[in-house]
Structure formats: C-alpha cells, structure tokens
Amino acid sequence: MLTAEKDGARLAVNKGKGALRKVLRAPFSLYEIKIAYGRKPAARKCKIMTGCVKFRAGKPADKTPNRCFSGGNENKKRSACRTVRFCKYEILREKIQKRGSIMTEEIMSVMNGQIFGVWFLIGAALVFWMQAGFAMVETGFTRAKNAGNILMKNLMDFCIGTVVFILIGFGLLLGEDMFGLIGKPGFDIFTAYESFDWSNFVFNLVFCATTATIVSGAMAERTKFISYCVYSGIISALIYPIEAHWIWGGGFLAQMGFHDFAGSCAIHMVGGISALVGAGILGPRIGKFGKDKDGKIVKVNAFPGHNLPIGCLGVFILWLGWYGFNGAAATTVEQLGSIFVTTTIAPAVATVVCMVFTWIKYGKPDVSMCLNASLAGLVAITAPCDVTDAFGAIAIGAVAGLLVVFGVWLLDYKLHVDDPVGAVAVHCLNGIWGTLSVGLFATNTAPGYSIANAAGEELTGLFYGGGFELMGLQLIGFAAVAGWTLVTITIAFLLIKATLGLRVSEEEEIIGLDATEHGLPSAYSGFAITDMSATTMDVNENTDLGESDYEKAGSFKVDRAIPVVATSSETDANGVPIFNTGMHKISIIAKLARFDALKKALNELGVTGMTVSQVMGCGIQKGAGEYYRGVEMDATLMPKIKVEVIVSKIPVEHVVEAVKKALYTGHIGDGKIFVYNVLKVVKVRTGEEDYEALQDVE
C-alpha cells in the first residue's frame, strides 16, 4: 500500500486504477510522498520525494517509468516503479485540478450573475409593492370622504408613469449620454426587443413611479383628478428621467463622483420639492388655518387621519419594500448584507428618537409622527446605505427622527403650507439630509466601496478622515437637482393652473372628492362617514371656561357648566315649568369618560334602570391639551353618551344635583340635563300604569 501525507492528513491509495480515482478526488495538490511497504512501515524507512519533482537525485520521475533502479532486489524495483506511477498520477491530478479550479470560478461567476439578476427583479417587485404602502399611508392620514380618490391616484401614478416611461422616459434616463445632460431618446423596446434590457427597464420604471407618488400626499383632498394625472405624467416623462440620468445614466454628476446609491436625491428629494411647490400653489384645505379679521393666520387646526391602522400597515409595507429599494442594486452578498443592516438601523433609531422627542414636547408620544419618522429614517439612509457603517446609520437615523418633527412644524407654523401626510418633511428634508450625509459618513470599510472623484482617487466622508471634497460633490449634486426640479415643476403647476385648473371648488372639497370626482358615494359603503374637521368653533372674549373645583365654583357656574332644561305642559306666572305629574324623564348628555361616575351616582340614589346611547357633541372645549402631528386639537365634535332615566319616587332635584356633581369638571361642555314631564307610562308585561309601572325599574 502507498501512503501520502500532507499537513497531518493521510490518504490511503490502492494499487492500479483505483489509485488515480482516489488521488483525483483528494482535496490537496502537491504532497510529500513517502514510500512505505511491508506490514511495518516504520521499520523500513522510505525515500522522500517532495512534490513529485524527482525520484532520485538528477533523475526526473516521469522519465524513468520502467527502470527505477539500476540494481537491487526485485521487490525494491517494483515498489519504486509503483511510486513513479503514483507520481505521474499526482501530476495528472494537479493539471486537472488547476483546470477544474478555473472552470469552477467561471461557473460560480455565472451563477452569481444569475442569482443577482433574479434578486434584481425581485427588488423591482418589492419597489412596485411600495405603491400599496404609499396608498395606505396617504389614505389613512387623510379623511374618509377622499379615500377612493387617493386610491385612484396611487393606481394611476404607476399606470400613467409606465406609458410615458415607455415613450420617452427610459431613453432620457438610460439612453446614450448626450453632453452629460440627457440620454438619447430611442424606441429599442419596439425596434430591438430581442436584445432589449428588460430588467433595467422594469427596475427603473418602478423607481420613476415612486417619485410621482410622493407628490400625491401633500396635495391630497383638494386637487382636481385630471390635473393630477397631467403633472404625474410630466414628472415621469421629463423631470425625473433627466435628473436621474445625471446621477445613474452616466451624466455629469456621475462623472464627477456624486453618490446617491438608491435615490435620496434623485427620487425622494425631487418628489419632496415637487410636493412643496404643488401644495404651496394649491393652497391649504378649507379650515386648516384660522384667520383673524385682517386675514392673518393666527391658528393651525388639526385634521386627524381617519384610519391610522391603515396608515401603519402602509408604513410596514414601505419598510419591507425598502429592502428592495436600497438592496436591489447590490452586487455581492457582503454588500447586500451591509445594506440590509443600515436600512434597518436608521429607521428604527429615527422612530425611537421621534417618540422620545414628541413625548417630551407634547406630553404623549405622537403615533402619526412616529410613523412618519420611520419613513424619514428610510429616506435618509437611501443614498448612503451602501457606503456607511452602523455608527453612520445610527447618526443618520437620529437626525432624521428630529428633522421630520421640525419639518411638520415648519410647514404648519411658519410656511403655512398644508401637507396632510407629511410628505415634505419626510421626503424633501430627509432626502436632502440623506444626500449630504454621504459626505459625512462614507467609509471605505463598507463592502464594495467605490466612491471616487473624476481622477479616480478614492473619497471618504468628513467624519472618517476624508476631508471636504466628497461633501462638496454632494452639495453640487443637491444644488443641481434641486434647482432643476424647482424650476420645471413650478412651470408645470402654473401651466396646469392656468389651463385645466389645479384645485376643485369649495363645494366639491366639502362634499369630498370621492363623490364629486368619481361618483363614489363612499369608499366605505354601509358605514356612516362624519367629517369632524369642518365643525371648528373658536373661543373668544365672551367665552367663560369656568372653574374646575366644584365646591368653589358656586351654583351659578355649575349651572352654566351643566345647564338644566325643564319642559312641562304647565308653567307658573313667570313661565317656569311646573313638575306636577309626579313622573319625570331626565335626559343627560355627558362625556364618555364620566359615564362610570354618573352611573355610580345614579345607582346610589336608587336608580336601577337607564337607557344609554352614544351621540356626537359639538361645542367649545377648554384646551384639551391633545396634539396631532404637533398641532393642538380642537375637540369640537366629540363622542358623547346620552343617558335617560324615568323617576317618580326619587325627587328630581336629588337626581339633578347628583348628576351635576358627577359630571362637573369646570369646562363648558361637561354636559346638559333635560327634564321632561311624563304624562303616561305603561308596563307592557303587567299592564301597570304610571307610578306603579315605575316602581321596580328605578
């Protein structure tokens, strides 16, 4: 038996053809081969041949196949000849292994290309699925009477975008570069379909549709549908493809070294700027801002979204889709993993920071603002997702969480621009931040790092020792794309406003766009839809908000806070109702939160039966201290309860006093008490009437 050893490994090789088969399967190349023969190899030292180069000094092994030794016994000669044959097998195995290694590398390269090609298309599908997320967020953050209109707009974003992208957008984006400014338009999808870049077309199409969708949210609830279709087509056909060519199509920004891996600048900032301009030209929704007699805005009113669960679902859909949004263009598993890490860290940190900040500032964590913060973190990490590390992602997310709150406040209280879903704060401000953060947090420790200037010199972020050069390039890119977007979208909106008109009429807006634009009575057929945002009533100099302490308030203030209205068929000389039937119906309108106290108070008096129904109350509430997206809400149409009791044995005055004490908080709107004379009562089961009919139910 022959034995081969390498690094402590042992390979037992049989004689004959089996030796070749086993050697070819061996996982090593060149060995130290020791010839061992007999039953006790240790007793007979073998000659060592290293790497099958020489069998004996001066004699290459492959040239002495038949005559291994010039003398000696036959056993030694046969053993030596077997060693020579084994050496030849090893040389052959080495050649095959080298050839196999090359073939393996080629096969793996092809397989990697195929795998990432499939992932590229899966990423495109995830980005398309984000359209559902945008639809849910926008619908949930707005009012129910416009839900169908919003769904229709999000559907048409993609469909109209597809049509214009086929005709012109794709060529302008990825056509042959012309002067570093635009791609050469073409119709290869029609004329050379067999060699067309199908994957790239679909991938860039879904990104294009996202840009137009961003604008929809900021202009929701008051935009003409036909006008929306027109400007959505303009964005997808011209505005987005041209600036995206500068960044991804070989344009001048790409040549300079500007970096925007997945679109903080090219998509989100462009959509956010378009949203800001559009919402500014369009004007706020009716009732959003309160004005004094001189027309000066003195108050911001909150319009709560009608379905935050749908909005939350939309955020989770978008977060899932963002893994494709950011990761689809990755070229290695390592790079893809790093992108997934940063795409997870940034939005999570942004949401936590926003929660803590709103909790401190407004007294409670704001749900809708935190949902916006998750999206803000995703937008901010989109540009640097492939070039930053965990520390960079944390810092980027933390700033995004604060920036989204600032953005909502800025639009409401300073710019007075009505943005129902926070599109400007999320996409515009954080798109800018994400673009500039590349210049701060880009690090060459990230897998697949490739940022370089026009001279081919590697660039890193300021906080990683790279100086200001990369930040300068990012600033140039931001300024160029922002300037292009600002000019072109402004022209587009002004032209649409002058021709088709941009805004629906006041009556259409109040009724709702579902009915007026689409003939849809409601997106929630079978449900009663109430718009509470149009019922705002203001506190003025004649408003008395009362005293919160019941004992200190006095009878006058208590009576004002919880007025008693009595009705009767008979009155005295002063017109005061006379309670002369002995039976009275007491109807109480109260806050839902006071129901338990009211029920307990009535029960202690001996009232054992009551009728309870839910109603809506409209009036002035003393500053409730609750905030929606940083705006204090006017609780002018609130859920109330209506409690009705019939009493005969229990004095009405006792019931009224107990109800007042149970409901009183000092705020106008604590409730009202109505007292009616009851002329007749009949108990159906027994036939008892009047006083007797009431004795077992009070």
- Strand positions, DSSP E, 57-96: 59-60
Per DSSP, the three-state class of 376 is helix
CA-nearest of 232, 224, 234 to 155 is 232
Spatial CB neighbours of 110, under 8 Å, sequence gap ≥ 6: none
Please determine, for residue 24, whether its predicted confidence score (pLDDT) is greater than 50. no
Tell me the pLDDT tens digit for each residue of 300-310. Answer: 998 999 999 99
Task: Residues 141-518: name the CATH superfamily.
Answer: Ammonium transporter AmtB like domains (1.10.3430.10)
Phi, psi angle pair for 42, to nearest 5° = -65, -25
| Cα-based torsion angle of the residue sequence 405, 407, 410, 412 in order, rounded to the nearest 10 degrees | -80
Helix H, strand E, coil C: the string for 242-262 is HHHHHHHCCCHHHHHCCCCCC
Give whole-number Cα distances, 305 to 220, 413, 497, 567, in Å: 12, 19, 27, 41
* Cβ contact 169:237 at 8 Å: yes
Fold entry, domain 550-693:
Alpha-Beta Plaits (3.30.70)
Residues 681 and 689: beta-carbon distance below 8 Å:
yes
Task: Please determine, for residue 558, whether its predicted confidence score (pLDDT) is greater than 90.
Answer: no
Q: How do residues 283-304 score in pLDDT, each as one tens digit? A: 999 989 988 888 899 899 989 9
Q: Are 119 and 328 in contact (CB under 8 A)?
A: yes
d(CA 157, CA 67): 84
Chain centroid to CA 591: how far?
36
Residue 679 structure tokens = 């002329």
Separation between Cα atoms, residue 249 and residue 220, nearest integer Å: 32
Residue 365: how many CA atoms within 13 Å on its side-chain side? 12
- pLDDT tens for residues 192-223? 999 898 999 999 999 999 999 999 999 999 99
Measured CA to CA, the distance from residue 450 to residue 460 in angstroms comes to 10
pLDDT in tens, 598-649: 888 888 888 877 888 888 766 555 444 566 676 766 555 567 889 998 887 8
What kind and span of H or E run contains 205?
helix 198-218
Residue 531 has pLDDT above 90, yes or no: no
On whether the pTM is more than 0.85, the answer is no
Longest alpha-carbon distance in the chain? 152
Q: What is the mean pLDDT of residues 178-204?
A: 91
What are the boundaries of each domain within the chain? 2-108, 141-518, 550-693
pLDDT digit string, tens, across residues 463-492: 999 999 999 999 999 999 999 999 999 999
E strand or H helix at 299: strand 297-300
Instruction: Indicate the DSSP class of residue 55.
Output: E
User: What pLDDT score was predicted for residue 58?
Assistant: 39
